[in-house]
Amino acid sequence: MTSSPSSSPLRLGIAGLGTVGAGVITLLRANADLLSARAGRPLEVVAVSARERTRDRGVDVSALRWYENATDLVNDPDVDVVVELIGGAEGTARALVEAALAAGKPVVTANKALLALHGSTLARLSADNNAPLLFEAAVAGGIPAIKTVREGLAADRLLRVGGILNGTCNYILTVMRETGKDFATVLKDAQDLGYAEADPSTDVDGLDAAHKLTILAGLAFGQPVAFNSVHVEGIRSIGAVDQSFARALGYRIKLLGLASMTDAGLHARVTPCLVPQHAPLAQVDGVFNAVVAEGEFVGRIMIEGRGAGAGPTASAVTADLVDIARGNTIAVWGVQSSNQPPLRACPISSGEGAFYLRLMVEDRPGVIADITAILRDCGVSLRSMLQHPAENDSTPYVPLVLVTHRTSEAAMQDAITRIDALSVVTDSTVVIRIEAA
């Protein structure tokens, strides 16, 4: 998929004029001379599509052709590249991208959900019709995560990839740690500031990070990953008390997406994790993202930056457009094959690691003995234990934190099921995995 660039303009049709779409047009106009010099030809928006034609988007689109139906961009002979910024894994976005690739037109998209759920189909369409599909903006906004994993590390065999992949969760966990406020309060503040959506489920339940991890893992290991093979947990269960205990233990809480290859297959999960407070990942706070990759020869690398927003995302979209203008494109998963099966995945129960457990237990003698007996019977070894005293005499339950040595996920799940069934335990046990770095 490499061809010689032309001196004629690369004509763009943009579907979706939200924050990112308007940002792309603004960037293209503001940096027109710079981009033309770097791309070897001008980049020119000639047509757009969006739902509301009269809406003020802060950018003038009156001189551009307007299509009510986004898929009509594919049939416009003056559109060389389709830019899909609608979002969503189904509906108009999917129809547009599939139609463009089937017609042999290059596509640039920021649509992580579409790539995560339909990456195999889109990769086949791209290869079969010699139509490049680029998606730098789909993972970590302005951080060049895709190019780093797929191209910068192409010479190495990658063993692990992932990182902090959702800025909303990272912001919430950071503010909880810094202020001592609970999850619900910080989430409301984040919504008021525009850092969280009115319906925050995709972010706080881990789905957004899982979409991104699915893409990163496919790139790192050269095969598509089935989205439903990724184990996903969010941050709703994390309380202010967990932040306090984490600090006392020398950790910070982060929502991490991690994927690794073993002889048995792919292990991929999005879960809250305790990270040593002096580790590089622990220092990535607020709305920032970080992508980590580990290879046999390169070792461990980390890149960080803003993972969302009009500016960073528009920058990533435009970088893909520059690549197309130059004639520099690459197969979707970085390997020249149009019909690859998804990677064989391992269930979460086959994993291993150390765990933080926070229980709410009756404040009376014998409770700890009952719990540790269950752990012993399940083959789980304790490393440490912390307990906060009751806030007042009227509080019958107190938080108890247990930190385990490395053990199997299966053993830990068995132990938690038995512990939660005890009459002296109220609420479900909060489980946070412990990462070395």
Indicate which residues carry an active-site annotation.
212
Backbone angles phi, psi at 324, to 5 degrees: -65, -40
Residue by residue, DSSP assigns 9-58 as: -EEEEEE--SHHHHHHHHHHHHTHHHHHHHHSS-EEEEEEE-S-SS---S
**What are the CA-CA distances from residue 354 to residues 42, 273, 431 (Å)?**
54, 10, 10
Q: Are 357 and 404 in contact (CB under 8 A)?
A: yes
Tell me how far apart the alpha carbons of residues 65 and 118 are, in angstroms, rounded to a whole number: 30
Nearest to 304 by CA among 333, 324, 279: 279
Q: How many CB atoms lie within 10 A of CB 421?
A: 9
- The residue type of 154 is A
Q: What angle do CA 184, 186, 188 make, to 5 degrees?
A: 70
Determine the Cα–Cα distance for residues 70 and 7; give it in Å rounded to an integer: 28
What is the distance between the alpha carbons of residues 156 and 296, in angstroms, rounded to a whole number?
A: 6
Residue 216 CB coordination number (10 Å): 32
Spatial distance between the Cα atoms of 203 and 289, rounded to a whole number of angstroms: 13
Give SS3 for 161.
strand
Rounded-to-integer distance, Cα 213 and Cα 202, Å: 14
Helix (H) / strand (E) containing 119 = helix 112-128
Query: Closest Cα to residue 173, out of 153, 187, 192?
Result: 187
Concatenated DSSP letters of 384-424? EEEEPPPSSTT--EEEEEEEE-SEEHHHHHHHHHHHHTSTT
Please report where in the chains the tokens 């339909």 appear, as a residue: 118
| Number of Cβ atoms within 10 Å of the Cβ of 78 | 12
